[in-house]
Amino acid sequence: MTNAALDTDLRDLYQDLILDHGKHPRNFRIAKNANHEALGHNPLCGDRLMLYVTVDDDNVVQDVAFQGSGCAISMASASMMTDMLKGKTLAEVGALFDYMHGACTGETVTPAGLAEDDVDRIKALAGVRHYPMRVKCATLAWHTLQAALKNEKKVSTE
């Protein structure tokens, strides 16, 4: 691999958007009054994150926050996810999850009805699909979200 090819290859995973979210995670705080929360854990990497979600009576996500530690990919994924979720209905969240999951595992799911901005962000995260060991880093936040919404307190990906 030439140096240029290597750069392209690595830049596919470590895009600026990812690096930026990894370094400066958004919504990185404890949200004590959230009505859903869950602890996500990837025993392989030791990545851990606590996710707080507030859903109102109309099934609209009012607030999402997280705290934790992990690699650039898992932190960026959590940060970008929190950014995307605010203001979405639970149905929209489900569609986003499905698209995200498909994108990271290499399935082709059409982003029907998703905001262009969200699709771009998820495409950035989907660089992991060429890094099999890192897929779980990208999906940890999303699995934790599912657990939180189902009121499961803990989730562990392996």
Partner 1 sequence: MANEAASPVCYAPADELFACAAPRIYMAEQYRKDFPVLDQKIHDHPLVYLDNAASAQKPRMVMDAMTRFMENDYANIHRGVHELSVRATDKYEAVRGTVRRFINAAHDDEIIFVRGATDAINLVAASWGRTFLKAGDEIILTTLEHHANIVPWQMLRDSIGIKLVVVPITPEGDVRIEDVKAAFTSRTKLVSVAHVSNALGTVLPVAEIIKLAHEHNALALIDGCQAVSHMPVDVRGLDADFYVFSGHKLYGPTGSAILYDKREILKQMPPYQGGGDMIASVSFKETTYKEPPHRFEAGTPAITEIIGLGAAIEYVSTIGLNRIARHENELLAYATEKLRAINSLKIIGTTPNKAGIISFTMEGAHPHDIGTILDRQGVAVRAGHHCAQPLMEFLGIAATARASFGLYNTKADVDALVAALRKVQEIFA
Give residues in contact with partner 1 (CB under 8 A): 1, 5-6, 9-11, 13-14, 19, 23, 41, 43-48, 69-73, 131-134, 137, 156, 158
Cβ proximity to partner 1: between 86 and 150 the closer is 150
State how far the alpha carbon of 5 is from the alpha carbons of 8, 11, 38, 53, 132, in Å: 5, 10, 40, 40, 19
Q: What residues have CB less than 8 Å from 107, skipping those under 6 apart?
A: 101
State how far the alpha carbon of 29 is from the alpha carbons of 50, 65, 121, in Å: 9, 6, 21
Q: In the bound complex, what is the minimum distance in angstroms from residue 1's beta carbon to partner 1?
A: 4
Q: What is the dihedral of CA 46, 52, 58, 60, to 10 degrees?
A: -60
Cβ proximity to partner 1: between 28 and 131 the closer is 131
Q: Which helix (H) or strand (E) holds 12?
A: helix 3-13
Cβ proximity to partner 1: between 7 and 117 the closer is 7
Q: In the bound complex, what is the minimum distance in angstroms from residue 39's beta carbon to partner 1?
A: 11
Q: In the bound complex, what is the minimum distance in angstroms from residue 120's beta carbon to partner 1?
A: 21
Q: In the bound complex, what is the minimum distance in angstroms from residue 50's beta carbon to partner 1?
A: 14
Cβ proximity to partner 1: between 60 and 71 the closer is 71
